[in-house]
């Protein structure tokens, strides 16, 4: 037996990686049940599968191409630009699976769209938060890379989301997000029967002091994996709750999806402008081409 263990022996004997080590090696991905050609290069990532239809309502055309567990995927066009959407379920573990399998079938731009809780007074219910980076308060990304590795959004995606929000006339805020593994204790809320986790009474104030804008549960893992794999990623969420003012309403549910869809069109214009200018990477100096 080699010092790498039985799996390595199997790989050496057959010349192939055992199927148990990479169940996604086949054309169809194990969890998402999508293959190459099923998804566009740009994919929106809501949590709730029921939001997929609400996302695609604003597109030119769309078709559901796969549905398995919490993962529902649809592909179509928005403003004549190819686009897909895949629901991730709640939290970073399932979101990371979506990133892994979408990357395997050719996606290169991932935009988290969803809802969040704001911890700044100025971020009112119904406003948008566009993430520049995320506090990695979840555990999934820590299984990939050291804890001081940054969960940063791609600057082009941030610029495209801001451009889209401006075009649509939505109120938005730009800054740092905190991603957690718990909706209750991890975000400083009481648990069942008034349970309080250690440090929960100080959590919100500590993050506010660090100029963090909001809580949600997926952005940090999506951004971390995207950076590790050389993909573009960002996040935009509609504020449902303001933890400072005490407001809570499911208002403006479709705003984040509309902004993210428009941002995919903007990114296509950015990429075309970069190609026309003969540069490897879009920057503000070259604008958006003919627009």
- SS3 (DSSP) at 121: coil
Query: Does residue 118 contact residue 247 with C-beta atoms inside 8 Å?
Result: no
Closest by Cα among 116, 111, 113, 114 to 154: 111
Query: Does residue 114 contact residue 101 with C-beta atoms inside 8 Å?
Result: no
Query: Does residue 84 contact residue 262 with C-beta atoms inside 8 Å?
Result: no
Residues with active-site annotation: 31, 101, 189, 243
Rounded CA separation 57/173 (Å): 25
All residues at 6 or more sequence positions from 276 whose CB lies less than 8 Å from its CB, including other chains? 286, 289
Query: Does residue 208 contact residue 120 with C-beta atoms inside 8 Å?
Result: yes
C-alpha radius of gyration, the chain, whole number = 20
In order of 25, 74, 78, 120, the CA distances from 44 in angstroms are 23, 10, 12, 26
Query: Does residue 130 contact residue 260 with C-beta atoms inside 8 Å?
Result: no
Print burial letters for 114-150: b (CB count within 10 Å at least 16), e (below 16). bbbbbbbeebbbbbbbbbbbbbbbbebbeeeeeeeee
């Amino acid at each position: 037996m080699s010092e790498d263990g039985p799996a390595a022996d199997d790989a050496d004997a057959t010349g192939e990686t055992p199927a148990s080590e990479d169940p996604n090696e086949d054309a169809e991905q194990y969890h998402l049940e999508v293959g190459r050609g099923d998804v566009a290069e740009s994919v929106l990532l809501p949590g709730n599968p029921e939001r997929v239809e609400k996302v695609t309502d604003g597109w030119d055309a769309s078709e559901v191409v796969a549905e398995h567990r919490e993962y529902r995927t649809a592909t179509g066009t928005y403003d004549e630009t190819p686009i897909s959407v895949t629901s991730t379920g709640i939290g970073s573990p399932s979101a990371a699976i979506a990133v892994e399998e979408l990357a395997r079938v050719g996606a290169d731009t991932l935009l988290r769209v969803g809802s969040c809780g704001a911890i700044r007074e100025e971020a009112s219910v119904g406003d948008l938060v566009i993430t520049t980076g995320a506090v990695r308060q979840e555990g999934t990304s820590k299984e990939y890379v050291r804890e001081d590795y940054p969960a940063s959004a791609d600057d082009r995606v941030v610029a495209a989301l801001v451009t889209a929000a401006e075009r649509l006339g939505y109120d938005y805020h730009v800054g740092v997000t905190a991603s957690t593994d718990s909706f209750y204790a991890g975000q400083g809320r009481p648990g069942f029967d008034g349970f309080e986790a250690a440090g929960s009474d100080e959590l919100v104030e500590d993050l506010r002091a660090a100029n963090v804008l909001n809580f949600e549960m997926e952005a940090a893992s999506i951004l971390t994996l995207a950076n590790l794999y050389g993909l573009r990623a960002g996040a935009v969420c509609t504020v449902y709750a303001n933890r400072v003012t005490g407001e809570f309403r499911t208002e403006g549910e479709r705003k984040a999806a509309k902004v993210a869809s428009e941002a995919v069109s903007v990114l296509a214009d950015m990429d075309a402008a970069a190609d026309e200018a003969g540069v490897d990477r879009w920057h503000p100096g070259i604008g958006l081409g003919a627009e």
